């Protein structure tokens, strides 16, 4: 069921005759290695038709970031990783709502942000809003749809995870779960956050008519992808699931992942090394979801075993 049609968003202030527009941050993180894409990204953020907006660029391992006028910047000499960098960036902003926007992504519609804010206003228990990611030609890859059953990407519905680099969050919900797990570095932090939010009673939603463009690049282009993909699958299960479901979840994903790798033995070797690391290393603090959350996810069509 889709979210109801948007209406003008506003919140009451302490003055009954006055309304307050929530502040929104669009957070972009970059190492400065793709300046053309970054410029397009930032200009699309600045073009949003929303009054109370700040666009913030974090140079992650890029001490002197370069950005168009109107963008607030902060540079770090150290690369904090993807999840750690995003957590730090959030700590440097103060908006009621914030959006992560990958430095090679861009927002084609100037009304997208205002429509997203309206959806948050209409749904006070909504924690995260995942837009529809498409290539410039309109194609949506299966891995970009954050539902357990992908189906038609043009249909909105409850989100099982989130595309970490292109998602909009309510700050109070984000702070309730403590943000992304920094020790993951890369991969599956969106599953962790979505599960934990659900366990605290928050909602997560995929909104298909909010579109963000993103190049259709394979995640396996990163040399560490296979190892961290496997390690973090094990970690997210060990951290978040009741113990009886941990081997089920990991087992299902072991079969799926090895099947996808096929006869690519180098990828399989890296994946198995990460899988072993996931079991032999500490996943960090464990906060298993309650069985009520398991049943709630199952009713939504998203049982936490796949």
Q: Where are the domains of the chain?
A: 11-217, 223-285
Other beta carbons within 10 angstroms of residue 189's beta carbon come to 25
Decide if pLDDT at 292 tops 60: yes
For residues 97 and 167, give the distance between their C-alpha atoms in angstroms, rounded to a whole number.
11
In the chain, % of residues over pLDDT 70: 92
- Residue, of 185 and 91, whose pLDDT is higher: 91
Closest residue by Cα to residue 151 from 16, 306, 301: 301
Q: Which of helix, strand or coil describes residue 211?
A: strand
Q: Is the pLDDT of residue 91 over 60?
A: yes
CA–centroid distance for 270 within its chain: 25
Q: 2 exposed, middle or buried (CB, 10 Å; 0-12, 13-18, 19+)?
A: exposed
pLDDT score of 90 more than 50 = yes
Cβ partners under 8 Å of residue 15, min gap 6: none
Asked if pLDDT for residue 198 goes beyond 50, the answer is yes
Is the per-residue pLDDT at 235 higher than 90? yes
At residue 103 the predicted structure's pLDDT band, cuts being 50, 70 and 90, is very high
Band (148; pLDDT cuts 50, 70, 90): confident
Instruction: Give helix then strand counts, H and E, for the chain.
Output: 9, 10
Confidence of residue 184 (pLDDT cuts 50, 70, 90): confident
pLDDT attached to residue 3: 39
pLDDT band at 206 (very low <50, low <70, confident <90, very high): very high
- Run of H or E including 268: helix 265-280
Whole-model pTM? 0.89
**Model confidence pLDDT, tens digit, residues 46-59:** 999 999 999 999 99
Check residue 257 and give its pLDDT.
87
> For 11-217, CATH number?
3.90.550.10
> What confidence category does residue 186 fall into, taking pLDDT thresholds of 50, 70 and 90?
confident
pLDDT band for position 249 (cuts 50, 70, 90): very high
**229 and 187 Cβ atoms separated by less than 8 Å:** yes
User: Contact, 103 vs 38, CB < 8 A?
Assistant: yes
- Determine which helix (DSSP H) or strand (DSSP E) holds 196, and give its type and residue range: helix 189-199
Q: What is the pLDDT of residue 291?
A: 98
């Amino acid at each position: 069921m889709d979210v109801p049609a948007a209406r003008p968003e506003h919140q009451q202030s302490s003055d009954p005759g006055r309304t307050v527009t929530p502040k929104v941050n669009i957070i972009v993180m970059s190492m400065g290695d793709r300046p053309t894409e970054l410029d397009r990204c930032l200009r699309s953020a600045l073009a949003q038709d929303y009054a109370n907006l700040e666009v913030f660029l974090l140079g992650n391992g890029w001490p002197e970031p370069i950005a168009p006028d109107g963008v607030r910047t902060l540079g770090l000499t150290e690369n904090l990783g993807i999840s750690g960098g995003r957590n730090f960036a959030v700590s440097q902003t103060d908006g009621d709502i914030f959006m992560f926007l990958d430095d090679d992504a861009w927002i084609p519609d100037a009304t997208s942000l205002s429509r997203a804010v309206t959806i948050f206003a209409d749904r006070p228990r909504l924690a995260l809003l995942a837009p529809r990611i498409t290539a410039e030609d309109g194609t949506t890859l299966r891995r970009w749809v954050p539902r357990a059953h992908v189906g038609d990407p043009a249909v909105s519905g409850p989100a099982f995870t989130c595309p970490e680099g292109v998602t909009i969050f309510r700050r109070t919900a984000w702070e309730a779960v403590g943000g992304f797990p920094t020790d993951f570095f890369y991969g599956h932090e969106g599953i962790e956050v979505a599960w934990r939010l659900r366990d605290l009673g928050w909602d997560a939603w995929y909104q298909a008519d909010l579109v963000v463009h993103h190049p259709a690049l394979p995640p396996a282009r990163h040399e560490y992808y296979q190892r961290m993909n496997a390690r973090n699958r094990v970690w997210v299960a060990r951290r978040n699931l009741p113990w009886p479901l941990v081997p089920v979840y990991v087992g299902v994903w072991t079969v799926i992942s090895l099947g996808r790798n096929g006869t690519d033995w180098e990828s399989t070797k890296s994946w198995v090394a990460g899988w072993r690391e996931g079991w032999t290393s500490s996943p960090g603090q464990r906060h298993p979801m309650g069985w009520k959350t398991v049943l709630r996810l199952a009713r939504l069509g998203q049982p936490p075993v796949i």
